[in-house]
Chains A and B, each alone.
Chain A
Amino acid sequence: MEPNREERGALVRPYAVTRGRTEPARDIAIEAILVTTFRGRQEAMYAGRDKHMISILCDGRPQSLAEVAARMRVPLGVARVLVSDMTVDGLLALHEPAFDDNEDDRLDMLERVLSGLRRL
């Protein structure tokens, strides 16, 4: 039975979309990148309005978890639960930042960021 969430007001609504869950299946960094998969393009429309919107948001435009939360106007924790479900279901590809990079990878990234900033 679909709860009538519109009637409950804005205070309750965000967690209604996650059916009360506040813990995502996997921990996702705030800057982790999400891209809609081919499957997501085909199937997210059947996963509910919020997930469908996220699939449109991240289609061909890599978006971070923070961007998904901001553009969906939901708290970060809610976005994390939705996005986590979607990656488990193969609707989104998750690109986690590599915290465990070795020193060379890290320096290489820093160099690229530096030259990118200089080009701005």
Chain B
Amino acid sequence: MDYAGSDESQSVPPERIRSAKILLAGGFGVGKTTLVGSVSEITPLTTEAVMTAASRNIDEIADVPDKTTTTVAMDFGRITIAADLILYLFGTPGQSRFWFMWDELNRGAIGAIVLVDTRRLMDSFSSIDFFENRKVPYVVAVNLFDSAPRYDVDEVRDALTLPPDVPLVLCDARNRESAKRVLISLVEYVMHLHLRTRATASVVGR
């Protein structure tokens, strides 16, 4: 039994492995990588994507190549839910000028978390607008920095002009349980949306 090659059958991978992803957006320094690190089973990794965008306004400059490239770094973490289901959490760059390139990242995502610092609420506007416009379900998580002023949840909601059904949660990105809670609130919200859509469809279908 113990001959060479017998290990082939030891780690037979499942026939079909599914992966899912959650996006994490927010301004620079808002704690995205910290939150990823709090829940990830691996030390957060960084991958660099070279984004190519056809330029639109500089066509008349003949010597300029017709494409511009930008390197965007993304931090991400991983949670193995089961041998055949792996969840990834991608921290996406906060700068709004990159967002139009991120349709690929959106594709198939469970939804998004917009991480917010109450000292720099404006930094999160572009992320919120982006997910609103693309109909990507999202929740807002306020990262409670020690030095940041505390606001009432409703005050933050008003300041961000969040639609009433979008969940807003307070969190400490450094804390595993707290970070977990943010992910759970997103998945619960997305399930709620699915079930609501289904219920509406069945009522209309009658």
In the bound assembly, the distance between CA atoms of A20 and B20 in angstroms comes to: 31
8 A Cβ contacts from A45-98 to B: 60, 62, 64, 66-67, 69-71, 75-77, 79, 93, 95, 97-98
- A78 closest partner in B (C-beta): B50
In the bound assembly, the distance between CA atoms of A71 and B195 in angstroms comes to: 39
Known A-B contacts A77-B49, A95-B17, A95-B18; A103 and B188 likewise in contact (beta carbons under 8 Å): no
Instruction: Name B180's contact: one of A35, A95, A98, A120 (CB within 8 Å).
Output: A120
In the bound assembly, the distance between CA atoms of A71 and B76 in angstroms comes to: 12
Q: Are B85 and A113 in contact (CB under 8 A)?
A: yes
Does chain B have a CB within 8 A of A112?
Answer: yes
Contact with A along B23-62 (1 / 0, CB 8 A): 0000000000000000100100111111000000000000
In the bound assembly, the distance between CA atoms of A20 and B183 in angstroms comes to: 40
Does chain A have a CB within 8 A of B194?
Answer: yes
Give the one of A30, A32, A71, A116 with max B CB within 10 A: A30
Q: Are B194 and A76 in contact (CB under 8 A)?
A: no
Q: Are B108 and A97 in contact (CB under 8 A)?
A: yes
In the bound assembly, the distance between CA atoms of A109 and B188 in angstroms comes to: 12
Chain B residues with CB below 8 A from A77, complex form: 49-50
Residues of chain A at interface, number, CB under 8 A: 37
Q: Are B105 and A30 in contact (CB under 8 A)?
A: yes
Known A-B contacts A120-B79, A120-B180; A32 and B47 likewise in contact (beta carbons under 8 Å): no
Chain B residues with CB below 8 A from A120, complex form: 39, 79, 176, 180
In the bound assembly, the distance between CA atoms of A82 and B45 in angstroms comes to: 19
Q: Are B184 and A99 in contact (CB under 8 A)?
A: no
Give the one of B17, B110, B180 with max A CB within 10 A: B17
Q: Are B188 and A114 in contact (CB under 8 A)?
A: yes
In the bound assembly, the distance between CA atoms of A44 and B190 in angstroms comes to: 41
Residues on A close to B: CB < 8 A? Answer: 29-33, 35, 38, 60, 62, 64, 66-67, 69-71, 75-77, 79, 93, 95, 97-99, 103, 106-107, 109-114, 116-118, 120
8 A Cβ contacts from B76-91 to A: 76, 78-79, 81-82, 85-88, 90
In the bound assembly, the distance between CA atoms of A28 and B79 in angstroms comes to: 20
Instruction: Name A116's contact: one of B10, B16, B76, B79 (CB within 8 Å).
Output: B79
Known A-B contacts A30-B104, A33-B86; A109 and B48 likewise in contact (beta carbons under 8 Å): no
CB distance from A91 to the nearest CB of B (A): 14
Q: Are A112 and B85 in contact (CB under 8 A)?
A: yes
Chain B residues with CB below 8 A from A70, complex form: 45-47, 76
Q: Are B18 and A75 in contact (CB under 8 A)?
A: no
Q: Are A31 and B20 in contact (CB under 8 A)?
A: yes
Q: Are B49 and A75 in contact (CB under 8 A)?
A: yes
Known A-B contacts A64-B86, A97-B19, A109-B20; A103 and B194 likewise in contact (beta carbons under 8 Å): yes
Give the one of B39, B47, B71, B110 with max A CB within 10 A: B47
Chain A residues with CB below 8 A from B74, complex form: 66
Q: Are A71 and B45 in contact (CB under 8 A)?
A: yes
